Structure 1
Amino acid sequence: MHLMCIAVLWVGWSWFAVGVAAALYVLRMFAITAFYHRYFSHKTFKASRLVQGVFAAIGATSVQRGPLWWAAHHRHHHRVTDTAEDPHSPGQHGFWRSHMGWFLTPRGFRTRWEAIPDLRKFPELRFIDRFDILLPVLLAAGLFALGGWLEEAAPQLGTSAWQLLVWGFFISTVVLFHATVTINSLSHKFGSRRFDTRDDSRNNWMLALLTFGEGWHNNHHFFPGSARQGFRWWEVDLTWYGLKAMSWLGLVRDLKPVPAGLIRAARGRA
């Protein structure tokens, strides 16, 4: 994945290809933060089986494995945060292991089925989890085919099969991956601590912007049961805004808010 990004030196760039890469970053980041994290891992809102399946599939194109694997490991992380049992604690295991090395181990690569009894009953989710490489391959093939067609049908866009593949899939996916895992490696080291949690979680506004609200990590570890992670009005949480919009459209429902008492407590803290 990372090596293929170097191909940008040969395929060049176009506004169309960069726009596709940005759009796929936004769509897939939302699928990861809203559904893989706040829905599958924490059940902070409700959705129909169709909606959960669609966003499980979109999230799987991010090459962050399937929704069951993702949710199972995240639930385990919350149970053992920043202890020796936490597979991606930077305080326990260092930067590189917490950033990406942990899931390359046999223990990290397997799905913790015991942690997700509520999710493993869905055969479509088990299918996506078992064949998690299928949807990224289909996305890559689709982008390659689209780029090839546009090269002939709309040459004014300045794109090609290889250019759209490199920008739309490889560059977008690699940036998305590293943005997501900074929450493991950086948000337990850098930032402010509003709440005295039993872990090293931090609030980091830069990571919050990059990850659509996930950087308000100390807030999240203090109260993981809320669909909203930015507790103050100025704590930008794009995932929360997207979920609110989806609720107005009837696509999701019963968004769990931050309790009023926590909002008042947050006002009195940094």
Structure 2
Amino acid sequence: MAFLNTVLEPPAYGWKDQFGELSKPTNGQILKEFFSRLNVFKSKKNWLSFLSWMLIVFLTPFLGLFIFKYFSITGLVVAFVYSMIIMGTHGTIWHHRYCTHGAYKFKNNFWRFVTQNLTLKIIPEEIYAVSHHVHHALSDQPGDPYNAQGGFLYCFLADVNHQPINRSMSEKDYAKCVNLMKHTGVTTNSYKQYQKWGTLVSPLRTITGIILNWGFWFAAFYLMGGPALACAVFGSAGIWAVGVRTFNFEGHGKGEDKRREGVDYNRNDMSINQIWPGYVAGEWHNNHHLYPKSARSGFKPYQVDMAFYYIKFLSIIGAVSSYRDSKKEFYADHCKVVIDDKQEYVSPPKSVLVTD
């Protein structure tokens, strides 16, 4: 816990105010911090944050070409499905349930590589995974990198202002940080390289990986449907990259308590289950905060979880060697129901509850 309190680079306005409460910066302070941390001329250690937003800039021309040159209803449908469903679900599968929580294990590195590159590579694993550990440890508390109580901009620009790793870690703490990413297969810097670049990953490897990923997918979509399809997909990926930055503000009630009885069972933070993120990305957020290491977060019959369906499919074909599924635990703990693969029935009192 002490390590997670210090693993992220604190913003200029700090995590806490003088009373120990959440420091709530003005929008002006947030924007000032944002542009300061994007400035690669000020410090080359800003390179990863700069790259993260430049990727969106690079995708913008594709969106423009699709809208003004190649627009069609079919292309619009493809763009919608790719950005809202495919990109969203992949983010849950790869960045959320695997890179951060290790909710399942691949049989070999081949299937890990395939899953990692199922879509356009836009969000660096380092920015997402390390900070998300902190989010769970300090959810809705000072130090939570996307604390919704800080406001919309506080969350929307968190990948630059709050999520980068601390640039002055000791060698011992840096080794702990590396260990958080070890299972992902991402090649990390030595401590000396980290001191130079301020990140777990090197610019050369990261940029090369993105170029290869984008090149493969542009060629694939171009061969499937020409420049119209390629522009529709790449442009819509840029929309997703912007839209996903709004999720944690919405997913934690916009800083208010919007939890509902019989829907949101986790009472330790303000996370809520939402229909849209649940259906398009398998992101039943309150359920996820209840059982963060579960490969499934859609527990109830109506809670579609396409991310879990992909993981389950890989398990069936032998690509995933094991995964955690907390569905039975959820029903037993919160619905007083015992389930197996064939039936559900009301359980006896918890003191004599019989489980598999």
**TM bin (shorter chain):** 0.7 to 0.9
Partner of 1:43: 102
**How far apart are 1:36 and its partner, in Å?**
1.5
Shift of 1:243: 1.1
Opposite residue 291 of structure 2, the aligned amino acid is F
Letter in 2 for 1:83: Q
Look up the equivalent residue of 2:110 and give its one-letter code.
L
135, 140, 143: which one aligns with 1:85 = 143
Tell me the equivalent position of 1:6.
64
Segment of structure 1 superposing worse, 32-41 or 188-197: 188-197
Question: Aligned to 1:104, what secondary structure does the other structure show?
Answer: helix
1:200 aligns with 2:270: yes
Letter in 2 for 1:56: Q
Q: Deviations over 1:144-186 (max 9, x none)?
A: 5567777xxxxxx6x43xx344312122x12332453343121
2:179 is paired with a residue whose SS is: coil
Amino acid aligned to 1:108: Q
1:224 aligns with 2:224: no
In structure 1, distance between residues paired with 2:214 and 2:102: 30
Taking the aligned partners of 2:209 and 2:240, their CA distance within structure 1 comes to 16
Q: Which moved more, 1:185-194 or 1:240-249?
A: 185-194
Q: Residues 121 and 168 from structure 1, CA distance in 2 versus in 1: closer, same or farther, beyond 3 angstroms?
A: closer
**Aligned equivalents of 2:310, 2:219: Cα separation in 1:** 30
Q: In the alignment, what sits opposite 2:133? A: 75
Once structures 1 and 2 are overlaid, which stretch shifts more, 30-39 or 11-20?
A: 11-20
Letter matched to residue 206 of structure 1: W
- Aligned runs of 1:95-114 on 2, under 5 Å? 95-99=152-156, 101-105=157-161, 107-110=162-165, 114=176
What amino acid does structure 1 have at the position aligned with 2:122? V
Aligned twin of 2:115: 55
Contact 1:46/1:254 (<8 A) preserved? yes
The Cα shift of 1:9 comes to 3.5
- The CA RMSD over aligned residues, in Å, is 3.3
Which residue does the alignment assign to 1:154? Answer: none
Distance 1:40 1:142, change over 3 A: closer
Output the TM-score relative to the length of structure 2: 0.60
Find the partner of 2:247 among 173, 183, 200. 183
Contact (CA 8 Å) 2:94, 2:116: kept in 1 or not?
A: yes
Deviation, structure 1 residue 230: 0.9
- Structure 1 runs not aligned, ≥5 long: 151-156
Distance 1:51 1:265 in 2: 34
Which of the numbers 220, 234, 239 marks the counterpart of 1:169? 234
Q: Residue 132 in 1 paired to residue 206 in 2? A: yes
Pick aligned residue for 1:32 from 91, 94, 97: 91
Number of aligned positions between the proteins: 252
Question: In 1, distance between residues paired with 2:270 and 2:134?
Answer: 16
Measured after TM superposition, the shift of residue 261 of structure 1 is 3.7
Alpha-carbon distance change, 40 to 198 in structure 1, aligned in 2, over 3 angstroms: same
% same residue: 21
In the superposition, the TM-score normalised over structure 1's length comes to 0.77
Aligned partners of 2:208, 2:275: CA distance in 1, in Å?
34
State the structure with more CA Rg: 2
Structure 2 stretches of 5 or more lacking a match? 1-55, 168-173, 190-199, 338-356
Distance between the aligned counterparts of 1:73 and 1:12, measured in 2?
A: 38
In the superposition, relative to structure 1, how do residues 219 and 144 fare at CA in structure 2: closer, same or farther (>3 Å)?
closer
Determine helix, strand or coil for the equivalent of 1:234: coil
> Hey, what does 2:20 align to over in structure 1?
none
* Partner Cα separation in structure 2 for residue 57 and residue 126 of structure 1: 18
The partner residue of 2:179 within 113, 117, 121 is 117
